[in-house]
Structure 1
Amino acid sequence: MYILASPQASNFVEGVDKAFIIIFAVCFFFLIGLTAAMIYFIFRYNKKRNPKATQIEGSTTLEIVWTVIPTILVLVLFYYGWAGWIPMKTAPKDSFEIDVVARMWNFTFQYENGKRTDTLFVPQDKPVKLNLKSLDVVHSLYIPAFRVKEDVVPGREKFLWFTPTNEGIYDLFCAEYCGLQHSYMINLVKVMPQEEFNTWYTDTTQQAASENIDSPTEAGKRIMTNIGCFACHSQDGSKLVGPSFKGIYGHEVTVKTGGETRTVMVDDEYIKRSIYEPNADVVEGFNKGLMVSYQGQLTDTEVEQIIEYLKTLK
């Protein structure tokens, strides 16, 4: 079941939609009213009907009315906006917590039991708190059907919470322009009944089977896909943000190290260093500072699997 939108997909839908509808209704009312008044005045007071201008004195009563009424309307709009926003700032203590890592250009979701996915799996009717972390630039996690959005800012602790109320699959986007591949930061949220989610969450057989069945090459490709490597590095020789992976292993490249230009062989140690210290050796023709370190994000075994995959890209 794939759902683009749902009237009550989360606990915040009602509050956000109510504020939107009220604001839209007020704006629509005044748009029609002011447009109608403008058209009336154009015909009623045109030069043919009024060849001689008439001096109209001001009205204190009218000025008070058009000051007080807009002030009341603004306060009403503020109240509904505030009433829909303030609950988003405090997550329930029993929330199910998931760490979200944003980087150019993908989101990765990490669970307390060690699972890591590129689709957000959440239990239905259970408060979910997303702890947001950016490894590079400002991103923004946005789930339209849930009516929630929060910026993910490097160096700042941010969070977003919601209670998904309808089973289904929903879109998740980055809503902050974050660079070349920003539009490719599209993920999914899968809302599952609690029992089904518990089964998925505690089931390690699929992960274990994958680790046992997959060759190191296949595992390396899967890891690189999950962490978004192919958003910046091509596999066919074309130039993106970073150098292409095609034919790179076992060949020499020219890099800048500490301001000096040198030639190095792309071997296991070079790749491992590039993953953990991406700004140490910057390939000539590419910019420094665009890749963040994966130290602590990848294990040595996962790096070895990535290397095995890169060896196949002749």
Structure 2
Amino acid sequence: MNSGASTFVEGVDNAFIFILGISFFFLIGITLVMILFLYRYNKKKHPKAVQNAGSTKLEIIWTVIPLALVMGMFYYGYVGWKPMKRIPSEGVEITANARMWSFSFRYDNGRVTDKLYVPKDTAVILTLNAVDVIHSLYIPAFRVKEDMVPGLANNRLWFEATKLGSYSLFCTEYCGLQHSYMHTEVVVMEPEEFWTWYADTTGVALPVEEGADLALLGRQIVESKGCLACHSLDGSTIIGPTFKGAWGSNVPVITQGQQREVLFDYDYVRRSIYEPDYDIHQGYRPGQMFSYEGEISEQQIELIVEFLKSLNE
């Protein structure tokens, strides 16, 4: 509570504390009154009932007091909600894309990341897109949450982070079997550090050190993009065909209605990532995978290929 990680925290927490406080007050109060009445008015034999015409004064009291409390809840809720809907005209513009079962974030300079990097004390405006089903972007520490609906235009969310650090980001709309794996991080940086990072367009390409384990780098990409939610590494079938032993094999596919076999090689992997419905693996339905064009680079495909090759060893 009151972590102060964003400018929305105080407003949301005040509403929560007010409602929680009222709830506890009446929970304790009603419980104590019930216990008191059990002892105070305990009768061995039920007395003869007396007709009561009612009390206008009492009815006014139990109408006005709850009304005042509910209006108080509404006031605090409205005060906390209103700033969230006033999206500033200027800020760091980022496009957030959601798919089963991963997030990606595209910056105006073309950089695409799996984590959300933002500057401290600066308005960040997210344009929310979903490519398959309804998702929901939720950052608990910032007290922000918004549904990501396929085809919904001008769906935006904004926040201003006020503390440095890494914060959890979740999908909170059930979106399929691997929904629980759909999470990442928000990394809040000093503005100078962020803009230095942002200006380094070489970061669009992965820095691969000499002697690095290319297969391991490829696996990290596959994991971060959510590929293993549909493709197993042990030969079992999930939603898509397994990766185990696939490299170099002949794959039975349907291409434009025609059955054929294609070699599981670099070209097939690239085509499957960018045009997943071009060659449909026999036994699987089209439309189960969406294109990663613009999200997975050619260099990343090369690393993914190295990982797939390693599964044959």
TM-score by length of 1: 0.86
Unaligned 5+ runs, structure 2: none
**3-state SS, counterpart of residue 95 of structure 2:** strand
Give the letter aligned to residue 6 of structure 2.
Answer: S
Alignment of 1:142-291 (within 5 A): 142-157=138-153, 158-205=155-202, 210=207, 213=210, 220-255=218-253, 263-291=261-289
Query: 2:88 corresponds to which residue?
Result: 92
Query: 2:12 corresponds to which residue?
Result: 16
Query: 1:115 corresponds to which residue?
Result: 111
Query: 2:290 corresponds to which residue?
Result: 292
Once residues 209 and 234 of structure 1 are traced to their aligned partners in structure 2, the CA distance between those partners, rounded to angstroms, is: 25
Give the letter aligned to residue 273 of structure 2.
Answer: I
Once residues 78 and 119 of structure 1 are traced to their aligned partners in structure 2, the CA distance between those partners, rounded to angstroms, is: 35
Once residues 206 and 272 of structure 1 are traced to their aligned partners in structure 2, the CA distance between those partners, rounded to angstroms, is: 22
Give the letter aligned to residue 184 of structure 1.
Answer: Y
Once residues 284 and 53 of structure 1 are traced to their aligned partners in structure 2, the CA distance between those partners, rounded to angstroms, is: 79
Once residues 188 and 299 of structure 1 are traced to their aligned partners in structure 2, the CA distance between those partners, rounded to angstroms, is: 21
Offset of 1:142 from its aligned partner?
0.9
Count of residues in Structure 1 that have an aligned counterpart in Structure 2: 310
Deviates more, 1:151-160 or 1:196-205: 196-205
Does the 8 Å CA contact 1:247/1:313 hold for their aligned counterparts? yes
Report Cα offsets for 1:166-212 as digits up to 9, x if no partner: 11111111111111111112211111111121222223455557157
Q: What is the aligned counterpart of 1:67 among 56, 63, 68?
A: 63
Once residues 209 and 258 of structure 1 are traced to their aligned partners in structure 2, the CA distance between those partners, rounded to angstroms, is: 35
Offset of 1:312 from its aligned partner?
3.5
Once residues 258 and 205 of structure 2 are traced to their aligned partners in structure 1, the CA distance between those partners, rounded to angstroms, is: 45
Report Cα offsets for 1:65-106 as digits up to 9, x if no partner: 212221222111111111111111122112111111111111
Give the letter aligned to residue 239 of structure 1.
Answer: T
Give the letter aligned to residue 275 of structure 2.
Answer: E
Does the 8 Å CA contact 1:174/1:185 hold for their aligned counterparts? yes
Does the 8 Å CA contact 1:118/1:187 hold for their aligned counterparts? yes
Query: 1:80 corresponds to which residue?
Result: 76
Does the 8 Å CA contact 1:6/1:145 hold for their aligned counterparts? no
Offset of 1:165 from its aligned partner?
0.6
Once residues 157 and 81 of structure 2 are traced to their aligned partners in structure 1, the CA distance between those partners, rounded to angstroms, is: 12
Does the 8 Å CA contact 2:136/2:147 hold for their aligned counterparts? yes
Deviates more, 1:69-78 or 1:215-224: 215-224
Query: 1:55 corresponds to which residue?
Result: 51
Offset of 1:108 from its aligned partner?
1.0
Does the 8 Å CA contact 1:218/1:309 hold for their aligned counterparts? yes
Shift in CA distance, 261/44, structure 1 to aligned 2, threshold 3 Å: farther
**3-state SS, counterpart of residue 37 of structure 2:** helix
Deviates more, 1:230-239 or 1:181-190: 230-239
**3-state SS, counterpart of residue 43 of structure 1:** helix
Once residues 216 and 106 of structure 2 are traced to their aligned partners in structure 1, the CA distance between those partners, rounded to angstroms, is: 21
Q: What is the aligned counterpart of 1:27 among 23, 26, 29?
A: 23
Offset of 1:274 from its aligned partner?
2.4
**3-state SS, counterpart of residue 39 of structure 1:** helix
**3-state SS, counterpart of residue 210 of structure 1:** coil
Does the 8 Å CA contact 1:140/1:150 hold for their aligned counterparts? yes
Query: 1:128 corresponds to which residue?
Result: 124
Offset of 1:136 from its aligned partner?
1.1
Does the 8 Å CA contact 1:98/1:130 hold for their aligned counterparts? yes
Once residues 52 and 284 of structure 2 are traced to their aligned partners in structure 1, the CA distance between those partners, rounded to angstroms, is: 69
Determine whether 1:37 maps to 2:27: no
Once residues 97 and 15 of structure 1 are traced to their aligned partners in structure 2, the CA distance between those partners, rounded to angstroms, is: 24
**3-state SS, counterpart of residue 197 of structure 1:** helix
Shift in CA distance, 199/268, structure 1 to aligned 2, threshold 3 Å: closer
**3-state SS, counterpart of residue 207 of structure 2:** helix
Aligned Cα root-mean-square deviation (Å): 2.8
